Amino acid sequence: METVIKKYKTKNQKAKPLKMKFTLSTVIIHVILMLWGLTTIFPLVWVLNNSFKDREVILSNSFSLTNYANFTFENYITAFTRMNILRSYGNSFIISGTVVLGVMFFGGLAAYILARYKFKGRTFIYGALISAVLFPAFATIVPVFMGLYKVGLVNKHLGVILPQIAGNLPFAIIILIGFMENIPLELEEAAVVEGCGPWQIFNKIVRPISKPAFATVGIFTFLWSYNDLFLQMIVIRKNEYLPICALLNKISSQYGTDYGLMTAAVTLVIIPVLIVYLFLQKYIIKGLTAGAVKG
Amino acid sequence: MKKFSKVLAAGLSGAMIVTSLVGCGGQKATDTVTAPAEVVTEQAPEAEKPAESITLRTVSMFGGTDPMTNIYGSSIEEFMKSNATVKVEDESATSDEQWKSKVLIDFAAGNEPDVIFFFTDVNAKPLVEQNKVVSLEEIKSVYPEYASNITEAAMASAKYAGDGKNYAVPVRGYYEGIFCNKTLFDKYSLELPTTWENLEKAIKTFKENDVTPFAAALGHVPHYFIEHFILAEGGVADHSNQDVAAVKETWVKALTNFKTFADMGAFPIDTATSKHELQQQAFNDGKAGMFFDGNWVIEGITDKDNTVIVPMPGTGNGKKDPSDLIAGFSSGYYITKKAWDDPAKRDAAVKFVEHMTTTDLIKQFVVAASGGAPAADIGAVEGLNKLAAAGAKMAGEAKQCDSAIDGWLSKAAWDYLLGKVPVIAIGKEDAAAVVDKIIEIQNSNK
Amino acid sequence: MIYKNKKIIWIFLFPTILFISLFLYLPFLASLFNSLYDIPNIAGIGKTFIGLKNYIELFEDPIIIDAIKNTLIMMLLTVVFELGLAIVLALLVDSTKVAQKIYRTIFFFPVVISATAIGLMFILFYDYNVGLFNQALVKFGQEPKLWLDEGKALAMISLPVIWQYVGFYFVIILTGIATIPEDIYESAYLEGITGFQKVRYITLPLIKGVIKTCLILVITGSLKVFDLPWTIAPRGMPNQTTYLLGTYQYKTVYEASRVGYGCTIAILIVTIGLVISLAVNKFIKQEEL
């Protein structure tokens, strides 16, 4: 078992086989990638840019860069003074962080089973997961809320965490199955030969190899849990427990959207997610499985 | 933004709104029969107030960056200061579809608040018809002075249409009308659309000169056109008639105007896909001559000095008086049965609502929100900008007011109508067929 | 064959089954019953039993036919362009040595921005008067276009929907590529394989499972999508022609306040999604264990 793992790590250090060539194809590839990158950076810049504008100018001048006359921190000041933003970031991290851990753990176990074992209910469960992804929020929210209310979970973090774990599991499991099916079986076969049970196989082989997969699923789970406004709004009432998206939603006015404030709110919302993404990104690297097959 | 000059008209209109809303309210065509007053024998409330503090849960629509939010918030603070044993936990948020859902779900789960500031129109159906809120009648039988400062007119308008009873204490009413860019009207020597001829002339002239006659997003917010076309054709009498089948002809004629006006070029070329906010922007930018909306938009009109508001003209068949308006009171403070039946909370809830609906507070709300009709006689109003003052004057001079159709028409029928408006405008749907379907939906929703 | 011990299956699956039954299936089964009622608000207050009337209405509803058609068109566009682009970009990024991290970061940006903000941005692209596209056209001496007219609207609505989630599938596929053991390529490199052949004969087949998963998710995604389309073109504008199943369901529940009928549409969506997904699953067979 340990020998198998050791082999990965040594092979990982190997130099890349192909030399770095500065060819025409490389240039073309980078041009294409950069063009696409421009389209993906643009909205972020647009949002940020508009968050420094006054609401009255946005609709007519949304694409112009701010000039000094129009530049204002007003939107951010409003956001920060009206609400306790830092505290709600905290709430978001607690809730979404827990959801991520829950989904990764329970989902990982389930995905492993569904990817590897053949058993009678397999397609049925897989189908059930796909269907669950399609359930709309309004169809589940009322009974769920009533249930939460009865057991006293309204206004509590757990009241959001539990339904969100459930809500994200189907998607996460489907993605994890996709990854796990692609792991070469030889590793696990070797482990069985060495006398490992399923729990050990899962823990010592499948889980480490699937780190990139788990990281990816972690990112998306965090993102959706974080952005799930409706559930947050319905379950949590007091400002002290509200996560950031729900809190910033309260800023909107009845008299029409204050677009300056809205873009500031969007910016504030995005920042933690990008941080989480950058953090988890380093797990999505190549080479973890290098050498495993040969050995 | 706000002009702090003393506007005599404002003072006049303050008084005028009140006195003429008496006229507004009193002449509603369908006055539903009020159920005989229940005589409720009540034991006197607990003689001693419990020493521990009571928690009152309140919900309202005053959230976010609304100008009234601050006033609402500080009023609550004041209330707690002068009522040391009561702790108010407020959960307010701007009203949108999700918020409304949340409110209803709370009521269904038994998690309703003690006091809620909510709509009095068709949105209140689940609350009223499930007996979750207390009627003002019942409250007054125990607290005779409750809501005594509210005018009759406001009370009449704030009734729940389903049974004609009052359940909520109104604070501020709305009015709607045509906002006109005076500068553009003057530029082309046009008279304001106070008559149907003037309206048609304005449309034609603007169109010829590449000015959009109406800044309208028919695919997004055709609400005002629907209301006012029906009002123009049938007057308050037909507009307020909840038996649509009986006034079918008015409705059909009114809705056909969408096609007529579209053919005249009254709407912008992208009216089917534009958004109301963008049209408002176009109006503010001087690209359009007229813009249909209500008093809440006044804050968002940039040139308040050169914008005027006029009532919708009648189509000329004499049914509509030129001054009649779409206006009314559609929201107010409810006390839930849950709080009422709790002897500890009842008193606190009543005191809270009374505190939040004093004449002075109503005045503050009206000024903060740039106008709108007050539910109590607030006398002279200072601090209204020119447009708000003009609007208030218009509301005050109205012979009759009627609240919006979307207050009593079932949501399903109203939604159906909204979807069909742009289709009628391009001639792909027949107004008569649409009205028939509306009648069908209404009947199935009884 | 190594996995013989079946008991472990149910232990590992238990928590998931518990969560999903409690919070998803039980409530949703209630929806099955709810589709037999006329329910005038989301809280279920005041519902009346109407039997199969909702289903009859579903079959006769002209808008549903349009919605299904539009959704299938968007599904096709999404599969081809969103997934296609994601695969291409992932392969390209994988082949670069420099700036990989940068690309991986910035390609993900659109996914984290809320649909409302992206929707607003595209509204301001497409608007006839102040929109960026028309401003550009006018600058170059062209006539402004009505970007959301009946002919183009569906395509213009699909554009941001497709564009936003390319980054999402890009990350998944890149992760999938990352899980391929490096030494599978070794022998191929030694024989002088070209990049193109490497992709065709090694990479793609080895991420078949991942691509199949993405396909299923794209399909279910397009059946559900409503946030972005609703912001840009609420109520099926123009003229009720651009309804998707997701937006029509939203309108039915939140605007028309007809929750019973909304549940009926939900069941339709789930059925279509399940059928198509299982077909895809069968079609792209996995290696036998």
Q: Can you give the residue ranges of every domain in chain C?
A: 61-283
**Which residues of A make CB contacts under 8 Å with B?**
56, 59-60, 78, 138, 141-142, 145-146, 149, 154, 229-230, 233-234, 237-238, 249-258, 261
Longest dimension (CA), chain C: 74
Q: Is the pLDDT of residue C279 over 70?
A: yes
Angle at A32 between CA C134 and CA C85, to 5 degrees: 85
**Amino acid (one-letter) located at A68:** Y
The domain B176-326+405-444 having CATH identifier 3.40.190.10: the answer here is: yes
Place of tokens 């067979």: C285
Rounded Cα–Cα distance for residues C106 and C111 (Å): 10
| DSSP for residue C61 | -
Name the band, by pLDDT with cuts 50, 70 and 90, for residue A286: low
pLDDT at B21: 40
Phi, psi of B357 (to 5 degrees): -125, 25
| CB within 8 Å: C249 and A136 | yes
Cα–Cα distance between A43 and A55 in angstroms, integer?
A: 18
Contacts of A237 in chain B (CB under 8 A): 91
Please report the pLDDT score of residue A181 as a whole number. 82
pLDDT at C247: 96
Beta bridge partners of B56: B88
Angle between the N-to-C axes of helices A137-150 and B97-109, in degrees from 0 to 180, rounded to the nearest 10: 40
Asked if B329 and B151 touch (Cβ cutoff 8 Å), the reply is no
Cα distances (angstroms) measured from residue A205 to each of B231, B295, B379, C16, C159: 74, 67, 80, 22, 41
A61 is a domain residue:
no
Q: What is the pLDDT of residue C16?
A: 95
The range of the structural domain enclosing residue A11 comes to 2-18+83-281
Q: Provide the ipTM.
A: 0.89
**Which of A44-48, A68-72, C31-35 comes out lowest in average pLDDT?**
A68-72
3 state DSSP class of B278: helix
pLDDT at A69: 65
Pick among 1.10.3720.10, 2.40.280.10, 3.40.109.10, 1.20.1250.20: CATH of C61-283? 1.10.3720.10
Q: How far apart are CA C174 and CA C167, in angstroms?
A: 10
Q: Do domains B8-173+328-402 and B176-326+405-444 have the same CATH topology?
A: yes
Distance (Å) from the alpha carbon of A237 to chain B's nearest alpha carbon: 6
Q: Each residue's pLDDT tens digit in chain B (446 positions)?
A: 222 222 223 333 344 444 334 334 333 333 333 333 333 333 444 444 445 789 999 999 988 777 788 899 999 999 999 999 999 999 888 888 889 999 999 999 999 999 999 999 999 999 999 999 999 999 999 999 999 999 998 999 999 988 889 999 999 999 999 999 999 999 999 999 999 999 999 999 999 999 999 999 999 999 999 999 999 999 999 999 999 999 999 999 999 999 999 999 999 999 999 999 999 999 999 999 999 999 989 988 999 999 999 999 999 998 999 999 999 999 999 999 999 999 989 999 999 999 999 999 999 988 888 778 889 888 777 778 889 989 988 988 888 999 999 999 999 999 999 999 999 999 999 999 999 999 999 998 76
Q: What is the 3-state secondary structure (H, E, C) of C9-68?
A: HHHHHHHHHHHHHHHHHHHHHHHHHHCCEECCCCCCCCCEECCCHHHHHHHHCHHHHHHH
Cβ distance of B94 and A59 shorter than 8 Å? no
Q: What pLDDT shows up at residue B60?
A: 94
Confidence (pLDDT) at B209: 95
* pLDDT tens per residue across span C206-245: 888 899 999 999 999 999 999 999 999 999 999 999 999 9
In angstroms, the CA C49 to CA C34 distance is: 9
C-contacting residues in A 85-114 (Cβ below 8 Å): 106-107, 109-110, 112-114
Does residue A8 fall inside a structural domain?
yes
H or E segment to which residue B332 belongs: strand B331-335
Residues in A closer than 8 angstroms to B99, CB to CB, are 233
Q: Which residue is closest to A171 within chain C, CA to CA?
A: C217
Block residue for tokens 């009946």: C150
Q: CA-to-CA distance for B318 and C93, rounded, in angstroms?
A: 73
Distance of residue B102 Cα from the nearest chain A Cα, in angstroms: 6
B8-173+328-402: what fold? D-Maltodextrin-Binding Protein; domain 2 (3.40.190)
Q: Across all residues in chain C, what is the average pLDDT?
A: 89
Mean pLDDT of the C247-253 span: 95
Residue A187 pLDDT class (50, 70, 90 cuts): confident
Q: What is the pTM of this model?
A: 0.88
- Look at residues C159, B73, B42, B31 and name the one whose alpha carbon lies nearest to residue A250: B73
Encoding tokens for residue B71? 């006033």
CB B142 within 8 A of CB B42: yes
Across all residues in chain A, what is the average pLDDT?
82
A-chain CB neighbours of B277 within 8 Å are 59, 256-257
| Integer Cα distance of B289 and B198 in angstroms | 13
What pLDDT was estimated at residue C82? 96
pLDDT at A38: 95
In a domain, A77, yes or no: no
Which residues in chain B are closer than 8 Å to C61, comparing Cβ atoms?
none
pLDDT tier at C2, thresholds 50, 70, 90 = low
Per-residue pLDDT band for C161 (boundaries 50, 70, 90) equals very high
- Assigned domain for A68 exists: no
Give exposure, A270-289, as e/b (b: 16+ Cβ within 10 Å). Answer: bebbeebbeebbebbbbbbb
pLDDT on residue B36 = 37
φ/ψ of residue B44, rounded to 5: -60, 140
Q: Residue A152's domain is classified under what CATH number? A: 1.10.3720.10
Extract the tokens encoding A21: 């060539």
Contact (CB<8Å) A170/C20: yes
Least confident of A47-51, A90-94, C216-220: A47-51
C278 contacts: CB under 8 Å, gap ≥ 6 = A123, A127, A130
Contacts of A8 (CB under 8 A, 6+ apart): A288, A289, A290, A291, A292
**Tokens 């079918």 found at:** B248
pLDDT at C108: 92
Residue A74: predicted pLDDT: 84
Give me the total of CB pairs closer than 8 Å, taking one residue from chain A and one from chain B: 65
Percent of chain C with pLDDT over 70: 96
Q: Is the dihedral of CA B283, B289, B291, B297 positive or negative?
A: positive
3-state secondary structure (DSSP) of residue C3: coil
Residue A204 has which token pair?
Answer: 């010592």
CA dihedral B63, B68, B74, B77 (to 10 degrees): -50
Is the C-alpha dihedral spanning A195, A197, A201, A204 positive or negative?
negative
Tokens standing for B277?
Answer: 């906010």
Residues of C in contact with B274 (CB under 8 A): 127-128
Six token digits for residue A295: 């050995």
Distance CA B190, CA B404 (A): 29
- Rounded to whole angstroms, the Cα distance separating C41 from A288 reads 53
Q: Cβ contacts of residue B196 below 8 Å, gap of 6+?
A: B232, B313, B314, B315, B316
Q: Which residues of A, range 112-151, sit inside 8 Å of C by Cβ?
A: 112-114, 116-119, 123, 125-136, 138-144
Q: How many domains does chain A have?
A: 1
| Residue A70 within any structural domain of the chain | no
Chain Cα centroid distance, residue B289: 24
pLDDT, average across residues C2-22: 84
What does residue B165 show for φ and ψ, rounded to 5 degrees?
A: -105, 160
Contact A286 C182 (CB under 8 A): yes
- Where exactly are the structural domains of chain B? 8-173+328-402, 176-326+405-444
The percent of residues in chain C predicted with pLDDT above 90, rounded, is 69
A249 vs B401, more confident? B401
In this complex, the chains that touch A, judged by 3 or more CB pairs closer than 8 A, are: B, C
Distance CA A260, CA B35 (A): 50
Residue A6 confidence (pLDDT) above 60:
no
Rounded Cα distance, B91 and B82, in Å: 21
Q: Which two tokens stand for residue A94?
A: 């607690």
Bridge pairing between strands B288-294 and B172-181: antiparallel
B141-144: which pairs have CB atoms within 8 A and are 24 or more residues apart? B141/B38, B141/B39, B141/B40, B141/B42, B142/B40, B142/B42, B142/B45, B143/B350
